Structure 1
Amino acid sequence: MPAIVLVGAQWGDEGKGKATDVLGSRVDHVVKYNGGNNAGHTVVVGDEKYALHLLPSGILTPGCTPVIGNGVVVDLSVLFEEIEGLSARGVDCSRLVVSASAHLITPYHRTLDKVTERFLGSRRIGTTGRGIGPAYADKINRVGLRVQDLFDEKILQQKVEGALEGKNQLLVKVYNRRAITADEVVDELLSYADRLAPMVADTGLVLTRALDAGKTVVFEGGQATLLDVDHGTYPFVTSSNATAGGACTGSGVPPNRIDRVVAVVKAYTTRVGEGPFPTELTDEVGEGLRRAGGEFGTTTGRPRRTGWYDALVARYSARVNGVTDFVLTKLDVLTGYERIPVCVAYEVDGVRHDEMPMTQTDFHHAVPVYEELPGWSEDLSGVRRFEDLPRAAREYVLRLEELSGARISAIGVGPDREEIVVRHDLLEG
């Protein structure tokens, strides 16, 4: 049985939960391997809508084991708030497993994230202010706190005190904020220890044993390819590796265990936060896409920037991630357009680029070169077979497939988890 990496192919919010739905009950483990509660999935089950922020989408699949891997940064207050909210709605969260090596987001991380972003002014990155970046910075600086530290109070106290020595200087002398005491941080963190303890495990070992036993494991990336700290539109990125390579470092499962890489790509393009966006529509057309697609952040509620499909972004994602299959979402949102532009190249200072420009400067100045495809007016929500889509919709999908570097194996035609057209089985290859 396969190990499948599931990634976003654009700037996030592509609908990765839809791809997990395609796999359905055949998935034994779903692993979140990067990010924190700075991104979310909206999953629709029947008449119920679930907004997931930190938990893997597999939490909604009966019998599936959801795993928070070592590459995730965990805000315990958010984790338990989400667990309590789902449990109140009848969702079984008892199978959740959390890596002992996952790093923790603390009150001082959240505070620093917010004041730093405000201090940057016009140079702001567009973070969510949830402490993600500062927590990852501490991880790299080797002064972070891990889940396992909760179970050694003496070590926890020492680590918090050490971390706050420099941070309080910054808060008080640079940002004119009050100092944070080690005791208040330790007390907050320890208040979760007893509830968390039964969930904590060596998740790399758990997942390796699952694969050895023939189980199907899905590695679910938070954020998306162009938000990857190494391969995204830096510096307007997240602080972790959201690409397929991050699945290995963020879970403890080696590369030779990965069988397939499924990238989720929206039938148009959106992004949240600052940074260049060549196909962005700032007019009424863009606002129409936002309204029709419900383009508001699951976690933040922020309106997403919208634009036409960018084939260079998809092709770049296919290359960087080693994509074997695309899942195309929200095709239904494009219903009603007479003509649908698709970006097939960029022009930068009079020079045509058929691949993503090498430098951020060139990408910032990229002007999209469009190819227009015919639109359709039919309702797609009831379609379940590719051949039953309107001809123009089929041609649109096939042209995107031709431009994007990998086959399109499934197509979302509505928000419900059943509203999907499957062309190729993601598990069979």
Structure 2
Amino acid sequence: MFLICICFQGLGTTKKGIGPTYSSKAIRNGIRIGDLLGDYNHFSKKFHELAMMYQRMFPSLKVDIDAELKRYKEFAEKIRPLVFDTVSFLDKSLRSGKKVLVEGANAAMLDIDFGTYPYVTSSNCSVGGVCTGLGIPPHRIGEIIGVVKAYTTRVGDGPFPTELPNDIGDLLQSRGAEIGVTTKRKRRCGWLDVFLLKYTNMINGYTALCITKLDILDTLPEIKLAVGYSLRGKKIDYFPSNVSDLAAVEVEYLSMPGWKTSTEGVREFKDLPENAKNYINKVEELLSVPGKPLRRSSPIFLKIKVVVMIMKRSH
């Protein structure tokens, strides 16, 4: 019944089964790669029990268990050479002085614990997820680069204090090509929420801030930064954990003049228009984190050794 309820909550998810999969992990009946590559009889028994459970929950669900097991057995042999213990691999790599680049898959405010719950993903996508997701101890984490657009976006449902449901929001969406990669839905757009960024900085501890898509703001005569929240007439110094409170906040804005000139192709901070510099400097000042402008129109290519790794652990 739990999974049925989730389907009707309308959280604006990608509907790819991520939530149900994580719920299976939490109630400890999930199937892991280690099961698939281990004792086949044990895997078959576990798979059969799980399939029967879902068929009881959804009577119309038809599963050819034998055919599925055959498919998984073939799949297991294909991936077996690619699977190894990544905790040991990463530990040896770090101890030998190698550098490891970890990229988060979702925005900080989609974190299951610290995001705008329940309008979140099912995992920890804050910096703590590096430790729990990869098995890396906290003291191994070095520089933490917070990546933020020069404006705020959200795909799916949930409160969005700085949302611009007007021509400016439409312009940001259009110029920024803000379309959800998986859902293909238009992203909601709004002013950069520095108050929210301060909250994510408390959680993640940014050592640098990478500001992207600055050029999307090129045509605006005036640009605003959200610098504070008020709730029920009183200024607050915390980010509301209750979505009904977050939806009710009044936003305090700082208005800044735009630069009204193209910044596409600019690679050096010194070459930006003065008002664009002022915008970045103000964000840096409010957050006390060094800002680094990156261009949508100036891709940066990095030489990175890519290793295909599939975790055997319960992640």
Structure 1 length-normalised TM: 0.67
Structure-2 change in CA distance of 1:217 and 1:379 (3 Å)? same
1:167 — aligned with what? 54
1:195 maps onto 2:78 in alignment: yes
Encode CA deviations 1:386-412: one digit per residue, 9 max, x unaligned: 11100000000011111224221x212
1:219 maps onto 2:102 in alignment: yes
Structure-2 change in CA distance of 1:188 and 1:367 (3 Å)? farther
1:126 maps onto 2:126 in alignment: no
2:26 — aligned with what? 140
1:244 maps onto 2:127 in alignment: yes
- Say if 1:228 and 1:240, in contact at 8 Å, map to a contact too: yes
1:325 — aligned with what? 208
- How many Å separate the matches in 1 of 2:54 and 2:21? 12
Deviation at 1:315, TM superposition (A): 0.5
**Percent identity of paired positions between Structure 1 and Structure 2:** 38
What runs of 5+ residues in structure 1 fail to find an aligned partner?
Answer: 1-111, 420-429
349-358 or 375-384: bigger deviation = 349-358
- How many Å separate the matches in 1 of 2:169 and 2:72? 43
Deviation at 1:233, TM superposition (A): 0.5
- How many Å separate the matches in 2 of 1:236 and 1:137? 16
1:274 — aligned with what? 157
Secondary structure of the residue aligned to 1:240 is coil
Deviation at 1:265, TM superposition (A): 0.8
Encode CA deviations 1:208-228: one digit per residue, 9 max, x unaligned: 111111111012111121100
Secondary structure of the residue aligned to 1:315 is helix
Encode CA deviations 1:329-382: one digit per residue, 9 max, x unaligned: 100100010000111111211112243124333212112111111101222122
1:157 maps onto 2:44 in alignment: yes
Structure-2 change in CA distance of 1:274 and 1:185 (3 Å)? farther
- Say if 2:267 and 2:294, in contact at 8 Å, map to a contact too: no
Match of 2:300 among 384, 401, 418: 418
- Say if 2:194 and 2:286, in contact at 8 Å, map to a contact too: yes
- Say if 2:265 and 2:298, in contact at 8 Å, map to a contact too: no
Deviation at 1:272, TM superposition (A): 0.9
Q: Which amino acid aligns with 1:129?
A: K
1:61 — aligned with what? none
Encode CA deviations 1:59-113: one digit per residue, 9 max, x unaligned: xxxxxxxxxxxxxxxxxxxxxxxxxxxxxxxxxxxxxxxxxxxxxxxxxxxxx97
The correspondence of residues 220-369 of structure 1 with structure 2, limited to 5 A, is 220-369=103-252
Structure-2 change in CA distance of 1:213 and 1:351 (3 Å)? same
Structure-2 change in CA distance of 1:171 and 1:369 (3 Å)? same
Secondary structure of the residue aligned to 1:406 is coil
- Cα RMSD after superposing both structures: 1.8
1:393 — aligned with what? 276
- Say if 2:264 and 2:298, in contact at 8 Å, map to a contact too: no
1:376 maps onto 2:263 in alignment: no
- How many Å separate the matches in 2 of 1:302 and 1:192? 33
Q: Which amino acid aligns with 1:171?
A: F
The correspondence of residues 64-83 of structure 1 with structure 2, limited to 5 A, is none
Structure 2 length-normalised TM: 0.90
- How many Å separate the matches in 2 of 1:404 and 1:134? 37
- How many Å separate the matches in 1 of 2:74 and 2:157? 36
Which is richer in strand? 1
- Say if 1:225 and 1:243, in contact at 8 Å, map to a contact too: yes
Counting matched residue pairs gives 299
- How many Å separate the matches in 1 of 2:27 and 2:295? 45
The correspondence of residues 173-192 of structure 1 with structure 2, limited to 5 A, is 177-192=60-75
- Say if 1:348 and 1:366, in contact at 8 Å, map to a contact too: yes
- How many Å separate the matches in 2 of 1:143 and 1:345? 44
Encode CA deviations 1:157-199: one digit per residue, 9 max, x unaligned: 1111121232111112xxxx32334334323433322221121
The correspondence of residues 21-170 of structure 1 with structure 2, limited to 5 A, is 119-120=7-8, 123-151=9-37, 152-170=39-57
Name which one, 1 or 2, has greater alpha-carbon Rg.
Answer: 2
Deviation at 1:415, TM superposition (A): 4.0
Q: Which amino acid aligns with 1:161?
A: H
Secondary structure of the residue aligned to 1:355 is coil
- How many Å separate the matches in 1 of 2:67 and 2:117? 35
Q: Which amino acid aligns with 2:94?
A: L
Secondary structure of the residue aligned to 1:276 is coil
- Say if 1:272 and 1:302, in contact at 8 Å, map to a contact too: yes
Deviation at 1:316, TM superposition (A): 0.6
Deviation at 1:262, TM superposition (A): 1.2
What runs of 5+ residues in structure 2 fail to find an aligned partner?
Answer: 302-315
Match of 2:89 among 202, 206, 211: 206
- Say if 1:309 and 1:342, in contact at 8 Å, map to a contact too: yes
- Say if 1:318 and 1:405, in contact at 8 Å, map to a contact too: no
Deviation at 1:282, TM superposition (A): 1.2
